[in-house]
Amino acid sequence: MDSLNKKGKMTSIFNTTPPKTINGMVMDQMCNNPCCFFCIMKEPDTSSRRSGLATCFKEMSVINRDDQQHVLVLSGLWNIAMAQPDDPEFISLGIFDCMVSLLEKGTNDRSWLLRDQNIYIPYYAAHVIGSYTMNKVEFAEKAVLAGVIPPLMELLRGKISWVEQRVAVRALGHLASYERTFEAVAAYEEELVRLTMNLASTCLDQVYTKFVGVKDDNKRSKYHCDLLARGVGGLEMENRKAEEWASQLQCWSLYLLNCFACKERSLNLICNQGFLVDLCGMWGGLVNHSSPAGVGLIRILCYSKYGRQNISESKQVLENLCHLSRSSDDWQYMGIDCLLLLLKDIDTRYKVIEIVTMFLIDLVELKSLGDRSNLGENITKTLLLDYKQSKFRIKNSHVLKALQQTWELKVERRKREKTMSVEKIEEKRVLVNLIKQQANHVFWLGDVEEAIKMYNEALDTCPSKLRKERTVLYSNRAQCYLLLRDPDAAIRDSTRALCLSNPTNSHGKSLWRRSQAYDMKGLAKESLMDCIMFINSVTTTTTNKRVKIPYYAARMISKQMEATWLFVNAQSKFTRSDDDYEISSNEDDHQLECDEMMRQMMMMMMEKKSIASGLSTIIEEPLIVKGKNWREMERARRRNKTAFNVMARSM
């Protein structure tokens, strides 16, 4: 909303610090207003305070003159609602009726909206509604009876700006999540679903072009700046918060769509092929790692026959699910769930089997993933369902060979090893270690292809029960494939090693090797996730107080964070267009932003993984080995003997 750029003056509000506070809210020491919210909140008598608050809410609802205190009161109410969303006091005193009146003023009376501080009122009013309806269905019912949905729909339609859309879609999502209030939201079903789908697909472009990409402070929406950064922090803080809010806007939009998809409502709209492809790119980013974003909605769709049918027809969606299933992303299990649901449905099984088999076979030795146990067994049973009959329906020879190898590994081999004695297993262990040492020696002599053959022999010899040994063998073979510039084979082997590791996805060397392989294939998100997990393994296994983060890993994270930046597509799209907004094309500025973001995200991920924040970090010098023969590796060894020894110990 361009005309709103210079209407806000929030800085003066947040910088005012009267002598006394209540619940963290500022209030005047001297006040002659008998309906002053802050004075009423000081009232020790419960009955008098409740009566005063009810009067205050009514006054705010019906008053026609401008009152500068309204914004401050609403800001205070928002703080209370966020801190105490289950407190019924304000609900019983008519707060929803008050918020509805204020929203209607903001959406229907533009001249009122643009006066003084009124531009802030719809944002806070919608936020208060969303906070009080997120936990209790009783509160949601009262909100619906008060008539909150029509003004929230006006905000969703973009009546003001993307900031108000963010809080409106949040509140509508809470209301749609309850059985008792869903139908009230569904009264706007088709329009709401279309608006929300469009918002999820376009909100990042909108936020970038209207805010983040506008480098001139004077051309940025002033009240947006104040809401985002509270008047402090400058451009860097504003951009960081805008990224967080844009991600929330997208994820809350998807949550609202989930409420309809769960009930198999409007699937004909949601299952639009273009939108399904868009969903694959919606991952929330590291700034919103708690939301499953696009894959969460795809999984909901996979629970319905109509949804499975449409998803099975999109090769791009299937490939994205496959990449997710072989990643260290927190939502890996969702990708696996989707693929298994598609394989178990006879109507979609043979539409997807030739694509997904080549990915799922690498996961058949998974023991557990999160709270899911025996996941590898479930994958094996699903892949080998009607195995003998499926031979005649599958035309791809590579898929048939993969299924045959899975049958051999998980069925025939298990039968042979079932009666194997402990002594025999120990004999096999010794033999496997001997072959591995020979393979390592051949590898360091530069004959990578011969090393692969020997690792193959060791894997064929190694009993399934020796998971630790198999982890190392797969990981070492993955390193060979990396040097041969075969990223697909490297990903397969490192994935198998990570499935065998305990806990799953914890083998540091395999994480780093797969991160490099994903980088070769241009799969930035998957490479980034593995690299973060690799750094996590480095920091958690060290006994030193000074944690050493390899320089090459930090450099990889910097590269992939730039490639996966939330606004990267919007930036590339709009820097090439003749847009009215002033968008910076300065690569140095953007690199500085990415470097700062990388540091912040690394700290966030470390905190998430319970890594002590007080540890200092040291960046090691990288070992860069290009090519695959011994002479090149020897030259690298002479340049950096220490780094080479680190790599040698990893084999």
pLDDT tens by residue, 271-285: 999 999 999 999 987
Domain ranges of the chain: 34-199+206-221, 272-420, 426-462+466-568
User: What residue type is 35 in one-letter code?
Assistant: C
Is residue 12's pLDDT more than 70?
A: no
Give the model's confidence band at 26: pLDDT under 50 very low, under 70 low, under 90 confident, else very high.
very low
Return the HEC string of 508-524: HHHHHHHHHHHHHHCCH
Pick from 246-255, 295-304, 378-387: least confident: 378-387
- The alpha-helical segments, DSSP class H, found in 313-392 are 315-325, 332-344, 346-360, 375-383, 387-390
Give the model's confidence band at 65: pLDDT under 50 very low, under 70 low, under 90 confident, else very high.
low
| pLDDT given at position 589 | 47
Is residue 410's pLDDT more than 60?
A: yes
Q: Which of 67-76, 439-448, 612-621 has the highest mean pLDDT?
A: 439-448
Q: Could you report the per-residue pLDDT of 132-153, keeping only the tens digit for each?
A: 999 999 999 999 999 999 999 9
Interval 387-411 mean pLDDT: 86
Q: What is the rounded radius of gyration, in angstroms, for the C-alpha atoms of the chain? A: 29
Domains 272-420 and 426-462+466-568 share a fold: no
Is the Cβ–Cβ distance between 157 and 195 less than 8 Å? yes
Domain 34-199+206-221: CATH architecture, name and number where available: Alpha Horseshoe (1.25)
Element (H or E) spanning 373, and its range? strand 372-373
- Quickly tell me which residue has 């001297």 as its tokens: 30
Separation CA 297–CA 294 (nearest Å): 5
Is residue 102's pLDDT more than 90?
A: yes
Separation CA 547–CA 617 (nearest Å): 5
- In eight-state DSSP terms, residue 328 is -
Separation CA 260–CA 306 (nearest Å): 14
* C-alpha of 360 from chain center: 22
User: Is the model more confident about 232 or about 10?
Assistant: 232
Beta bridge partners of 27: 20
Separation CA 247–CA 262 (nearest Å): 22
Domain 272-420: CATH architecture, name and number where available: Alpha Horseshoe (1.25)
Interval 613-638 mean pLDDT: 38
Separation CA 405–CA 200 (nearest Å): 42
Q: Could you report the per-residue pLDDT of 552-564, keeping only the tens digit for each?
A: 999 999 999 999 9
Give the model's confidence band at 387: pLDDT under 50 very low, under 70 low, under 90 confident, else very high.
confident
Beta bridge partners of 583: 214
Left if phi > 0, otherwise alpha if psi is -120 to 50, otherwise beta: which for 505? left
As a whole number, the mean pLDDT across the chain is 84
- The alpha-helical segments, DSSP class H, found in 395-466 are 397-407, 413-418, 422-444, 448-461
**Torsion angle of C-alpha atoms 236, 240, 241, 247, degrees rounded to 10:** 160
Is the Cβ–Cβ distance between 211 and 571 less than 8 Å? no
Is residue 550's pLDDT more than 50?
A: yes
| pLDDT given at position 67 | 61
Is the Cβ–Cβ distance between 204 and 288 less than 8 Å? no
What are phi and psi for residue 625, nearest 5 degrees?
-115, 110
Task: Give helix 137-145 / helix 162-176 axis angle, nearest 10°.
Answer: 120
Separation CA 421–CA 441 (nearest Å): 31
Separation CA 509–CA 37 (nearest Å): 60
Is the Cβ–Cβ distance between 402 and 358 less than 8 Å? yes
Q: Could you report the per-residue pLDDT of 178-220, keeping only the tens digit for each?
A: 999 999 999 999 999 999 999 999 999 999 999 999 988 888 8
- Give per-residue burial for 297-331: e unless 16+ CB within 10 Å, then b: bbbbbbebeebbbbbbebeebbebbbbbbbbbbeb
Q: Which CATH superfamily does the domain covering 426-462+466-568 fall into?
A: Tetratricopeptide repeat domain (1.25.40.10)
The tokens of 539 are what?
Answer: 């920091």
Separation CA 340–CA 336 (nearest Å): 6
